């Protein structure tokens, strides 16, 4: 998770981005490994294949393994989330045959809403 500290003297601000993505290119151009962390507490870790467009991933929340998901990226894989202090949805899907997008809308900790829709992988 990317964290930034700014400030000077004895007054500092710490900011953590709502999501962090790490991608590992494999020798096979058809597959990529990824680790996505959302709000610092939900982790999606797995592999995306372009042909056929599929995803296999393990889901962890607050350090607890919630299980393995396998699905079709076209039309997309939807995770409805209802874990301690966080609820909403997370979706991974294929756009234009070459971009894997992450979309999420989560309510976390005291009704703070975190939304985003970003490209996380490119083939």
| Domain annotation covers residue 30 | yes
Q: What is the pTM of this model?
A: 0.80
| Domain annotation covers residue 3 | no
Choose among 91, 86, 50, 45: nearest CA to 68.
45
Split into its structural domains, the chain has a count of: 1
pLDDT band at 1 (very low <50, low <70, confident <90, very high): very low
Tokens of 20: 């962090």
| Domain annotation covers residue 84 | yes
Choose among 122, 103, 105: nearest CA to 114.
105
| Domain annotation covers residue 8 | no
Q: Are 31 and 55 in contact (CB under 8 A)?
A: no
Q: How far apart are CA 51 and CA 62, in angstroms?
A: 32
| Domain annotation covers residue 5 | no
Mind listing the pLDDT tens digit for each residue in 2-15?
555 677 776 766 66
| Domain annotation covers residue 13 | no
Mind listing the pLDDT tens digit for each residue in 26-67?
777 889 999 999 988 899 999 999 999 999 999 999 999 999
Domain limits at 52?
A: 19-122
């Amino acid at each position: 998770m990317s964290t930034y500290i700014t400030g000077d003297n004895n007054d500092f601000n710490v900011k953590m981005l709502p999501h962090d993505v790490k991608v590992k290119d494999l020798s096979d151009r058809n597959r990529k490994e990824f680790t996505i962390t959302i709000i610092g507490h939900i982790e999606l870790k797995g592999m995306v294949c372009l042909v056929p467009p599929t995803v296999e991933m393990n889901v962890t929340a607050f350090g607890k393994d919630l299980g393995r998901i396998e699905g079709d990226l076209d039309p997309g894989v939807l995770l409805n989330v209802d874990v301690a202090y966080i609820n909403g949805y997370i979706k991974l899907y294929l756009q234009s045959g070459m971009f894997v997008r992450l979309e999420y809308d989560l309510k976390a900790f005291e009704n703070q809403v975190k939304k985003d829709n970003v490209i996380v992988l490119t083939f």
